[in-house]
Amino acid sequence: MTSRDMTTLLLEQVQKATAHNMPVTIEGQGSKRFYGHTAAENTACLQISGHSGVIEYEPGELVIRVRAGTPLADVNQLLSSNRQMLAFEPPDFENRSTMGGVIASGLSGPRRPYAGSARDFVLGVRMITGHGEVLEFGGQVMKNVAGYDVSRLVTGSLGTLGLILDVSLKVLPEPEAEVTLGLPIARQELQSRLRSMQDMFPLSAAAHQDGVLYLRLSGSEAAIQSARQKTGGEETDSGFWQKLNTLACFSSAKELWRISVAPASQIFLKEAEVIDWGGGLRWLVDPGFDPREQLAGEDGHATLVKYAEAKLPAGVELFHPLPPHVLNLHQRLKQQFDPAGVFNPGRMYRAF
Amino acid sequence: MDVDRQGFIRELREICGDNIITDRPRLRVYETDGLTAKRQVPWVVVLPSNISEVQQIARLCDSHRVPLVARGAGTGLSGGATPHAEGVLLSLARFNRILSVDSENMLAKVEPGVTNLAISEHVEHLGLYYAPDPSSQIACSIGGNVAENSGGVHCLKYGLTVHNVRKLKLVSPQGDLYEVGSEAFDSAGYDLLAVLHGSEGMLGIVVEVTVKLLAKPEAVCVVMSGFASVESAATAVGDIIATGILPAGLEMMDKPAIQAAEAFVHAGYPTDAEALLLCELDGIEAELQSQLDILQAVLQKNNALDISVAHSDADRARLWMGRKSAFPAVGRLAPDYFCMDGTIPRKQLARVLGEISELSREFGLPVANVFHAGDGNLHPLILYDANLEGDLEKAEQFGAKILELCIEVGGTITGEHGVGLEKIDQMCVQFSPAELAVFHGVKAAFDPNLILNPGKAVPTLHRCAEFGAMHVHAGQDKFPDLERF
């Protein structure tokens, strides 16, 4: 694994961008170019993939600190060789996602409902804001309430608040054993079936596609055996989760909607191509309608993840529109972190 | 304060009728929170009974630029709810209802004045509970837990408040009602839910909290063991983590804390031990026994003196009772005590405890240590007597030294109690002026007129310059641009 600290160079680039009000697109290996709005044509690219390497990793502390350009695959491999893992199971798109993008997108995999999300495991970040300074928030310890939680605010902000230099993450022990099971279950029976598993502890993923409920059990052999007696089902290919997490199972979709709702919600139960997160995440493929209209009465949100650029009506948002007061808070935070508006403008919402 | 006081109080009365306190004897009830060293009688106390009243109070305060301090149960330990002399103290005591329980989505919607423990008690019949359990859980309110991002003895495995709250309803200082977070597992836009946790009442007034509930584990056991030295207990903690077992709780106490707790609640602690470890394992029956075997082997390898395992509810409760009563138990040893809250990397434990006992000799003040060992969160309790001339100042200086030591070893000044008034000067040590400026920016985004809880949590740059002590970080003066006072 290469290790290189490019802080000084990146700082100069940010200072130059802010001094001349020149917008930049922050990019590692570009594995998430499809996610969010495309940058305007004249936008310069601020490359962070060279800023890479593990700064600190002591398995006994359950903490890893890495530079933003470090490939996710390298981190996964290092952790795995110490029987540890990133428990939020970040997707590795095209096998070239980097840690900066993992945190900036804040995406979590199938383990999310059972282990927590990306932001749940973020302990601290070092970043460059639009004021052109290197700043550190949070740290490498598990509990820290000194100052506002800027590291978690930055997680999932799609690079709009600043450039992440490095991140400290809590890691967890890898489960001793893991098995993926397939159970033939009709969609209409899915929720009652999932509900009966609410207290099933080794459960680490539950998704439904094409009449099959996929379950992943993680834990000790004994725990898995005991849970299997309750679930039934046949052992099946664990590669299912990887395909789902990286959206490979939707490769033929022209338009892909990600709908996040409370697990017991009744919405799009029938229409969803895949239901993940034990019911909480529903994927709509080429629905032919805007699902956001139907979500109006629900506590949830929809993201247009894949789309044909040419078919996108002007002014449409990809992420769920925010209520006025909340949008206003976003704009005011953006103004504070990035007064010149140079970082990934419009990537998340057109207004900032 | 440039405001017509009588007129302002008249307007408050129009909003919340008789639920207003202006007479000094009754105001004194609110003069302090759990940090009793700081006392301040508020100008006026209001106890609104619905959201609309909170909105109107906020709007009134904001338009007159009158400070507004929200308060839950007042059990906080850092002075976050200490009133403002010229301000309104808004008690959320009347917001004490559990609004709904959604067992399908495993969520409960509650008002902010509901106590932490009341939530778990309310859903117990469903086999569910709310995981974060600060030691003050019988009294502390969930709104206060959000404000401080409270932890507890189980947060190594189950996380802090921020990991267990799905959604908040808030009133902004301008009186707008809005929601952040969602009943879904994530929400659109920035993670405002995370920023609001631990924001110490500086950004908004929480009026409704949706918490995540968990299914009660099938099996639980608590293992207690004594050690002949703090070092061997600390090594055992590291070794336990290294096995790959994630304990539900992993707590340590030193000899003074063990003895105080034992004398107070008779938990059956070994009073001759230098250190005591409490390790809780939970999960499914089939898994627990093998984990227990591994744990006991680790403890024996580290020369644990006596190991006992509690399985029954009553036995486990007894062992935890000693730990959860450690603060009041230590409180019996001296007229006053100061509770510190630094967090450090676990590997630094032996060094930090060693230096704390040296400082204890230096300052001539005894100290007892209670420690969330699993996640590196220390609670040194400094014993002093406020009636002795200079004792409080000595205790404060001792505490400040401990916090600076925590920063030095790569930790933080507060793990779960918050900055409040108590640690505001140490914020200048932990953060650079540019970092503090970002915090002020966050504050301004939520509270442009700076009326919420002024003077807490984030120091002004001038305060840091005045605090002086010439904080040198990585060989550089932190405030080269500021005049010295």
Mean pLDDT of A227-255: 96
Better pLDDT: A284 or B290: A284
| Cβ–Cβ < 8 Å for B343, B412 | yes
DSSP letters, A208-257, are: EETTEEEEEEEE-HHHHHHHHHHH--EE--THHHHHHHTTGGGTT-SSEE
User: In chain A, what residues touch B107 (CB-CB under 8 Å)?
Assistant: 262
Alpha-carbon gap, residue B329 to B332, rounded angstroms: 5
Mutate which: B77, B185, B372, vs A, most A CBs within 10 A:
B185
Predicted local confidence at residue B479, as pLDDT: 46
A contact test, residue of B55, B190, B442 with most A CBs within 10 A: B190
Contacts of B419 in chain A (CB under 8 A): 145-147
pLDDT tens-place string over residues A65-92: 999 999 999 999 999 999 999 999 999 9
Q: What CA–CA distance (Å, rounded) separates B67 from B204? A: 13
B401: domain CATH number is: 3.30.70.2740
Total count of residues recorded for chain A:
352
pLDDT tens digits for B188-225? 999 999 999 999 999 999 999 999 999 999 999 999 99
Cβ within 8 Å, pair B245-A173: yes
Asked whether A10 and A26 are in contact (CB, 8 A), the reply is no
Any idea what DSSP says for residue A295? G
Picking from B59, B444, B150, B102, the residue whose alpha carbon sits closest to that of residue A145 is B150
Q: Which residue of B has its CA nearest to A225?
A: B286
Share of chain A above pLDDT 90, in %: 91
| Contact across the interface for B344 and A226, Cβ inside 8 Å | no
For B137-156, letters b (16+ CB in 10 Å) and e give bebbbbbbbbbbbbbbbbbb
- Inter-chain contact B183–A58, Cβ cutoff 8 Å? no
Give the residue-averaged pLDDT of B434-457.
97
Contacts of residue B167 in chain A, CB cutoff 8 Å?
299
Cα separation, B206 vs B196, in Å, equals 9
Name the residue in chain A with its Cα closest to that of B443. Answer: A148
At position B62, the amino acid (one-letter code) is D
Same domain for B399 and B431? no
Report the gap between the CA of B23 and the closest CA in chain A (Å): 35
- What is residue A41's predicted lDDT score, i.e. its pLDDT? 83
Tell me, yes or no, whether B160 lies in a domain.
Answer: yes
Cβ atoms of residues B303 and B232 within 8 Å: yes
Average pLDDT, chain B: 93
CB-CB contact of B330 with B259 (8 Å): no
Instruction: Collect all residues of chain B within an 8 Å Cβ-Cβ radius of residue A280.
Output: 184-185
Last residue of a domain, one of B196, B215, B234: B215
Q: Residue ranges per domain, chain A? A: 7-173, 177-253+255-306
Q: Which residues pair with B416 in a beta bridge?
A: none
Q: Do B188 and B232 belong to one domain?
A: no
Q: How many Cα atoms sit within 13 Å of A187 on the Cβ side? A: 14
Are the Cβ atoms of A146 and B423 closer than 8 angstroms? yes
- What percent of chain A shows pLDDT beyond 70? 100
**Which chain A residues are Cβ-neighbours of B411 within 8 angstroms?**
139, 141
Domain count, chain B: 5
> What Cα–Cα distance (Å) separates residue A208 from each residue in A139, A183, A184, B309?
38, 9, 9, 42
The distance of B477 to chain A (nearest Cα, Å) reads 16
B346 CB-near residues (< 8 Å, 6+ apart)? A60, A61, B234, B237, B238, B241, B373, B375, B376
Mean pLDDT computed over B429-446: 96
Question: Three-state DSSP class for B397?
Answer: helix
- Of B275, B412, B391, whose CA–CA distance to B340 is shortest? B412
pLDDT band for position A234 (cuts 50, 70, 90): very high
Specify whether the CB–CB gap between B243 and B298 falls below 8 A.
yes
Give the mutation candidate from A103, A108, A143, A194 for the B interface (greatest B CB count, under 10 A): A143
**CA distance, residue B482 to nearest chain A CA (Å):** 18
Same domain, yes or no, for B193 and B245? Answer: no
CB atoms within 10 A of CB A120: 21
CATH 3.30.465.10 fits A7-173, yes or no: yes
The one-letter amino acid code at B235 reads T
**Which of A148, A320, A326 shows the shortest C-beta gap to B442?**
A148
A133–B190: do the CB atoms touch at under 8 Å?
no
Q: What Å distances lie between residue B224 and A331, B326, B372, B465, CA to CA? A: 52, 16, 14, 47
Q: Closest approach of chain B CAs to the CA of A338, in angstroms? A: 11
A2 min Cα distance to partner chain B (Å): 25
In the numeric block, which tokens belong to residue B170? Answer: 């808030």
Question: What are the tens digits of pLDDT across the range B114-124?
Answer: 999 999 999 99
CB nearest to B414's CB, from A145, A149, A327: A145
Contact residues for B301 (Cβ-Cβ < 8 A; gap 6+): B239
Boundary residue ending a domain (B215, B245, B276): B215
Torsional class of A94: left (φ above 0), alpha (ψ -120 to 50), beta (otherwise): left
Q: Based on the domain organization, do B71 and B108 belong to the same domain? A: no
In Å, what is the CA distance from B148 to each residue of A145, B110, B188, B226, B414?
Answer: 7, 17, 24, 32, 10
Whether B423 shows a pLDDT value over 70: the answer reads: yes
Hey, are the CB atoms on A129 and B438 less than 8 Å from each other?
yes
Residue A45 CB neighbour total at 10 angstroms: 11
Q: Kindly write down the DSSP assignment for every residue of B63-99, as one continuous string.
A: HHT--EEEESSS--SSSTT---TTSEEEE-TT---EE
d(CA B217, CA A111): 19
Cα A316 to Cα B111: distance, rounded to the nearest angstrom? 37
Q: Nearest C-alpha of chain B: how many angstroms from A123?
A: 12
Domain boundary among B182, B215, B248: B215
Q: Are residues B63 and B162 in the same domain?
A: no
Count of CB contacts below 8 A, A vs B?
A: 255
pLDDT for residue B37: 85
- For B65, residues 6+ apart whose C-beta sits below 8 A from its C-beta are B3, B449, B451
Cβ neighbours, 10 Å, residue B2: 6
Contacts of A335 in chain B (CB under 8 A): 445
**Distance (Å) from the C-alpha of residue B245 to the closest C-alpha of chain A?**
7
CA-nearest residue of chain A to B242? Answer: A60
pLDDT at B437: 96
Q: What is the pLDDT of residues A260-307, one digit of tens each?
A: 999 999 999 999 999 999 999 999 999 999 999 999 889 999 999 999
Which has the closest alpha carbon to A62: B430, B65, B322, B347? B347
| Candidates B287, B450, B478, partner chain A, best to mutate (most A CBs within 10 A) | B287
Confidence of residue B1 (pLDDT cuts 50, 70, 90): low
Element (H, E) at B215: strand B214-215
* Closest CA relative to residue B60, chosen from B106, B14, B120, B94: B14
pLDDT for position B257: 95
Task: Say whether A148 and B445 touch across the interface (CB within 8 A).
Answer: no
Q: Is the dihedral of CA B293, B299, B303, B306 positive or negative?
A: negative
The whole-angstrom separation of Cα A98 and Cα B383 is: 49
The neighbouring-strand residues paired with A58 are: A63
pLDDT tier, A308 (very low <50, low <70, confident <90, very high otherwise): confident
**With 80 as the cut, is the pLDDT of residue B471 above it?**
no
Are B436 and B396 in the same domain?
no
10 Å CB burial of residue B379 (0-12, 13-18, 19+) is: buried
**Interatomic CA distance for residues B353 and B351, integer angstroms:** 6
Partners of B203 on chain A (C-beta within 8 Å) are: 148
Question: Across the interface, which of A58, A145, A176 has its CB nearest the CB of B415?
Answer: A145
pLDDT digits (tens, 9 = 90+) for B73-113: 999 999 999 999 999 999 999 999 999 999 999 999 999 99
Write the CATH number for B236: 3.30.70.2190
- If residue B178 lies in a helix (H) or strand (E), which one and from where to where? strand B177-181
Instruction: Assign residue B47 the CATH number of its domain.
Output: 3.30.43.10
Condensed to tens digits (0 to 9), the pLDDT of residues B292-338 reads 999 999 999 999 998 999 999 999 999 999 998 898 899 899 999 98
pLDDT surpasses 80 at B349: yes
Q: Mutation test of the interface with chain B: which of A64, A141, A292, choosing the one with the most B Cβ atoms within 10 A? A: A141
Contacts of A112 in chain B (CB under 8 A): 185
In chain B, % helix, strand, coil (3-state, to 5) comes to 40, 20, 40
pLDDT over threshold 60, residue B469: no
At B475, the pLDDT band (50, 70, 90 cuts) reads very low
Flag whether residue B157 sits within 8 Å of chain A, measured between CB atoms: no
CA atoms within 13 A on the CB side of B1: 20
HSE (side-chain half, CA atoms, 13 Å) at B358: 9
Chain A nearest C-alpha distance from B165 (Å): 11
Q: What's residue B284's pLDDT?
A: 87
Section B137-161 average pLDDT: 94
All residues at 6 or more sequence positions from B184 whose CB lies less than 8 Å from its CB, including other chains: A260, A261, A262, A280, A299, A300, A301
Could you say which of B179, B376, B438 has the minimum Cβ distance to residue A141? B376
The B residues from 429 to 468 touching A (CB cutoff 8 Å) are 430-432, 434-439, 441-446, 448, 457-458
Average pLDDT, chain A: 95
Chain B residues in contact with A176 (beta carbon < 8 A): 244
Among the listed residues B39, B45, B37, B42, the one whose alpha carbon sits nearest the alpha carbon of residue B18: B45
Pick B215's closest partner by Cβ from A116, A198, A325: A198
Residues B374 and B462 both lie in one domain: no
CB within 8 Å: B286 and A333: no
Largest CA distance in chain B: 71
Lowest mean pLDDT among A307-311, B43-47, B390-394: A307-311
Chain B hits for A333, Cβ within 8 Å: 190, 441-442, 445
For B432, the domain range is 425-477
C-alpha torsion A339→A342→A344→A345, nearest 10: 70
Question: What is the nearest CA distance from A267 to chain B, expressed in angstroms?
Answer: 13
Three-state SS at A111: coil
Return d(Cα B19, Cα B45) in angstroms, integer: 8
DSSP symbol at A277? G
Among the partner-chain residues A83, A144, A223, the one whose CB lies closest to the CB of B287 is A223
User: Do B223 and B207 lie in a common domain?
Assistant: no
Residue percentage of chain B with pLDDT more than 70? 96
- For residue B481, pLDDT over 90 is answered with no
**Same domain, residue pair B110 and B189:** yes
- Which residues 265-284 in chain B show a CB within 8 A of chain A? 283-284
**Residues facing B110 on adjacent strands:** B98, B209
Close Cβ partners of A239 (under 8 Å, ≥ 6 residues apart): none
- Tell me the CA distances in angstroms from A326 to A336, B67, B181, B194, B199, one per residue in order: 15, 23, 11, 14, 17
Gap between the Cα atoms of B237 and B378, Å rounded: 14
B407 CB-near residues (< 8 Å, 6+ apart): B413, B426, B429, B430
Instruction: Give chain B's end-to-end CA distance (angstroms, integer).
Output: 26
**Cβ contacts of B21 within 8 Å, gap of 6 or more:** B27, B30, B44, B45, B46, B47
Residues of B in contact with A300 (CB under 8 A): 182-184
Kindly determine whether residue A330 and residue B215, on different chains, have CB atoms separated by under 8 Å.
no
| pLDDT digit string, tens, across residues A93-143 | 999 999 999 999 999 999 999 999 999 999 999 999 999 999 999 999 999
B481 interface with A at CB cutoff 8 Å: no
Cβ neighbourhood burial of B399 (10 Å; 0-12, 13-18, 19+): buried
Q: Select from A142, A195, A220 the Cβ nearest to the Cβ of B376.
A: A142
Residue B444 and residue A143: Cβ atoms within 8 Å? no
Report the chain A residue with the minimal C-alpha distance to residue B439.
A148
